Amino acid sequence: MQRLYDFLRRHPTGVDTFWAVVLLGFSLLWVASTAPAVDRPVAFVGVAVLFSLVVALRRRAPERMLLLAVGLGLVQLGFGLEPFLADFAMLVIIFTVAAHDGPRWASRLALIGGLCAATLAQLRWPTEDPGSPAAKVFFTIIMTVPFALAWVLGDSLRTRRAYFAQLEERASRLEQEREAQAKVAVAAERARIARELHDVVAHNVSVMVVQADGAAYVMDSSPETAKQALETISTTGRQALAEMRRLLGILRTGEHQEAGEYVPQPDVQQIEDLVEQVRGAGLTVDFAIEGSPRPLPSGVELTAYRIVQEALTNTRKHGGPDVGASVRLVYFDDGLGLLVEDDGRGAPQEMYEDGGADGRGHGLIGMRERVGMVGGTLDAGPRPGGGFRISALLPLKSAH
């Protein structure tokens, strides 16, 4: 049964043609049975054939078939061909045009024609029964009802179909918006992971390079110092690998056991360990905390740690020989202040102009993005008297 239904839906013109043949057959039977009493039976046959064509092509060309039906109705009025069975096609085409998503003039014409059909027929072929005018009016109204119902049913079907189409479009649009939001979220997460990887690699590899250079320099003169440098390289490398496994594990799906357990995100308390690590790499760093330390939002703590990490990495990369740095953490009532300075030769101007893109790295850009995410402010640039300064204010509550 379902296959038959699907076949009928795929071949609407074939179904309409079948009903058109049925209508034509009954109309020809009517003409044949009333031929002795009907003038011009050939004209009735011609009208019946054309009305059958209206039914057969009603869904392929509804507006044209409506105009054909109107023309046939006018021909009947003009030549005195009284209504007969084939006129049922008028109801069919009125319903079809009202249900079709076509031009509105066609629907209006179908409605007006349907409402006028019974009245025009009554005026053209008045009943021989000498009833009262009120009875004739009532009879005309009763004959008009089928045409009005055909139009109302068709228009209701069109409205409901348009409503369902709107719901489907809205559901499709919502699905696309959800997919777009998911893609944006994935892109944001990947950007965050990229910043994390940049910080991990830039800092730890920088420490390893400095230690490797130092070990190579003192390998012959001070083997013990070279051994300590190699141990520092080993420890730093393991730490970098652990953090990279944690970050890359986020990108995996269903492979968390291979990635291992995630280590906690760095926080403000680990800044002191970071400073000690940098000191061990040969950079003189003065570290101080002002105010009363207290727990901070995780986003603020991670941002503070990464800013200090990136700033000290830039100091080693661009500060030159015998550079010293200072790190200040200031706890305010409504936020955390960071001040990282060095007395070296400072970074090239292209490192901090236009947001910090120098064509080789995106350290300052990453800093600004991190600070912006927590609603803070960042100021980076040369320090009076030489060196470089990075100042940041991180509020406890996001400004967004």
Local confidence band at 199 (pLDDT 50, 70, 90 cut-offs): low
Local confidence band at 353 (pLDDT 50, 70, 90 cut-offs): low
Least confident of 136-150, 260-274, 297-311: 260-274
Average pLDDT over residues 186-215: 71
% of the chain beyond a pLDDT of 90 = 34
Looking at residue 233, its pLDDT comes to 80
Q: How far apart are CA 188 and CA 102, in angstroms?
A: 46
Secondary-structure percent of the chain, ordered helix, strand, coil, rounded to 5 = 70, 10, 20
Give 28-55 as a DSSP string: HHHHHHTGGGSS-HHHHHHHHHHHHHHH
Q: How far apart are CA 387 and CA 348, in angstroms?
A: 11
Angle between helices 2-10 and 12-33 (to 10 degrees): 80
Phi, psi torsion values for 162, nearest 5 degrees = -65, -35
Q: Which residue has the higher pLDDT, 227 or 54?
A: 54
Average pLDDT over residues 179-191: 76
Report whether pLDDT(242) > 90. no
Largest pairwise CA distance in the chain? 136
Local confidence band at 77 (pLDDT 50, 70, 90 cut-offs): very high
Report whether pLDDT(110) > 70. yes
Q: Which residue has the higher pLDDT, 257 or 47?
A: 47
Report whether pLDDT(371) > 80. yes
Looking at residue 70, its pLDDT comes to 95
Report whether pLDDT(136) > 60. yes
Looking at residue 295, its pLDDT comes to 82
Contacts made by residues 207-213, CB under 8 angstroms, sequence distance 24+: 207/232, 207/233, 207/236, 207/277, 207/278, 207/281, 207/316, 208/233, 208/236, 208/237, 208/240, 210/281, 210/282, 210/283, 210/316, 211/236, 211/281, 211/282
Q: Which residues contact 103 (CB under 8 A, 6 or more apart)?
A: 63
Give the burial class of 273: count Cβ atoms within 10 A of its Cβ; 0-12 exposed, 13-18 middle, 19 or more buried.
exposed
251 neighbors 193 (Cβ within 8 angstroms): yes
Looking at residue 26, its pLDDT comes to 93
Looking at residue 193, its pLDDT comes to 65
Average pLDDT over residues 329-342: 91
Report whether pLDDT(35) > 80. no
Looking at residue 17, its pLDDT comes to 93
Report whether pLDDT(338) > 90. yes
- What is the strand order of the sheet 388-395 is part of? 284-290, 324-331, 335-342, 388-395, 377-382
Average pLDDT over residues 205-215: 75
Q: How far apart are CA 310 and CA 199, in angstroms?
A: 6
As beta bridge partners, residue 379 has 391
Report whether pLDDT(340) > 90. yes
End-to-end CA distance of the chain: 60
Q: Which residue has the higher pLDDT, 34 or 339?
A: 339
Q: Which residue has the higher pLDDT, 342 or 359?
A: 342
Average pLDDT over residues 5-24: 88
State the average pLDDT for the chain.
Answer: 82
Give start and end residues of each alpha helix (H) in 219-297: 223-251, 256-259, 271-280
Average pLDDT over residues 367-395: 87
Least confident of 88-97, 318-327, 349-358: 349-358
Report whether pLDDT(256) > 60. no
Looking at residue 130, its pLDDT comes to 59
Q: How far apart are CA 35 and CA 45, in angstroms?
A: 11
Looking at residue 362, its pLDDT comes to 58
| Residue 339, H or E segment | strand 335-342
Best CA proximity match to 341, nearest among 263, 397, 285, 271: 285
Q: How far apart are CA 44 and CA 82, in angstroms?
A: 9
Report whether pLDDT(360) > 50. no
Least confident of 187-191, 368-372, 382-386: 187-191
Q: Which residue has the higher pLDDT, 365 or 150?
A: 150
Best CA proximity match to 265, nearest among 309, 298, 229: 298
Q: How far apart are CA 313 and CA 205, in angstroms?
A: 10
pTM exceeds cut of 0.85: no
Looking at residue 152, its pLDDT comes to 95
Angle between helices 363-373 and 133-218 (to 10 degrees): 130
